[in-house]
Amino acid sequence: MLAEITWTAHPVIFQVGWFSLRWYALMFIIGFFIGIKIMEWIYRREGLDPERVYYLFLATFIGTIIGARLGHCFFYDPDYYLAHPLEIFKTWKGGLASHGGTIGVILCVLYYANKDRLSKLWLLDRLSIAVAPVACLIRMGNLFNHEIYGHETALPWGFRFIQNIPQWEQGAEPIFCNPSHPTQIYEALAYIAVFFICWYQYKFTDSGKHRGIIFGTFLVGIFGSRFFIEYLKNVQEAFEENMLLDMGQLLSIPFVILGIWLIWRGMKSPAVEGHSPITHKR
């Protein structure tokens, strides 16, 4: 059995001059590519033009980046960013929050659905299937970045992450943390499980006809697992040290509640065929 895993993966895949391709960016790109292909299949299956998926994912991409950046700035360090607003645009310094990204995606998708005359919940149900792999791969990007890991552990799969990444990238000797929970992997596994659950609901049950059930399952699965895994994580900001629940947990609670309500509402509502925003009660 392994006593520990010394993680020495470099965050940068290759660099040519000023340009560098990082694992985090590659995971993001692969995730969106998979998501596009899933939505193309869904659109064809339901009689829609798959070319429209590219406009959908453009809206999703914009919502993810803007929402995740603003979420980080205003959920985790509002005083600093309000005092230095130009720093908000410096995304290369890092700082993206998944809760903000989710809000950004929802808002952009609601706008897209209205513009394309689609039911908002119909679209969010199906997009949930496509987004779950993106969330999984983003966490794997965090693994390559040696970030967002957990408390020390004696478990045989504890990872020793490099703590001085900027200095190490400049040629310094790596400084490793003690074996710690690889919470990026825990979350990635939880998110891929959510993908399979949502896929099963859509493909093998009538959940797709009860609007909101799949999206609700997505919210409960993603943010419910996030809530519990946070107990194993190191806090992201100093102000969280003495909090009963950290910021990630507090932000997850509304999403879980919304998900439970959507599932309950969907189960009580009659089945609806098609993707029209107009529903007819029977």
Percentage of the chain lying above the pLDDT 90 cut: 68
The predicted-structure confidence for 46-98, as pLDDT tens digits, reads as follows: 999 999 999 998 999 899 889 989 988 888 888 888 888 888 887 766 678 88
Q: What are phi and psi of 77, to 5 degrees?
A: -155, 60
Mean pLDDT for the chain?
A: 91
C-alpha span between 257 and 164 (Å, rounded)? 38
Quote the pLDDT of residue 278. Answer: 59
67 conformational bin, left if phi > 0, alpha if psi -120 to 50, beta if neither: alpha
- What's the predicted TM-score (pTM) here? 0.91
Instruction: Give Cα 249 to chain centroid, integer Å.
Output: 15
| pLDDT level of residue 242 (50, 70, 90 thresholds) | confident
Report pLDDT for 280.
45
The reported pLDDT for the residue numbered 235 is 85
Tens of pLDDT along 249-277?
999 999 999 999 999 999 999 888 888 77
According to the model, what pLDDT value does residue 282 have? 37
CA dihedral 211, 186, 246, 109 (to 10 degrees): -30
CA distance 2 to 41: 41
pLDDT digits 0-9 by tens, 188-204: 999 999 999 999 999 99
Q: State mean pLDDT over 213-229.
A: 97
Q: Is the pLDDT of residue 38 over 90?
A: yes
Does 281 score more than 50 pLDDT? no
pLDDT for 160-199, tens place per residue?
Answer: 999 999 899 888 999 999 999 999 999 999 999 999 999 9
Residue pair 109/127 in contact (Cβ under 8 Å)? The answer is yes
**In this structure, how many other beta carbons lie within 10 angstroms of the beta carbon of residue 153?**
16
- Residues in contact with 132: Cβ distance below 8 Å, sequence separation at least 6, in sequence order: 191, 192, 194, 195, 198, 218, 222
pLDDT, tens only, 103-133: 999 999 999 998 889 999 999 999 999 999 9
Is residue 1 predicted with pLDDT exceeding 60?
no
Other CB atoms within 10 Å distance of the CB of residue 41: 14
The H helix count followed by the E strand count for the chain is 9, 4
- Residues 38-45, mean pLDDT to the nearest whole number: 96
Token duo for residue 17: 């001059």
Min mean pLDDT across 10-19, 21-30, 155-164, 224-233 is at 10-19
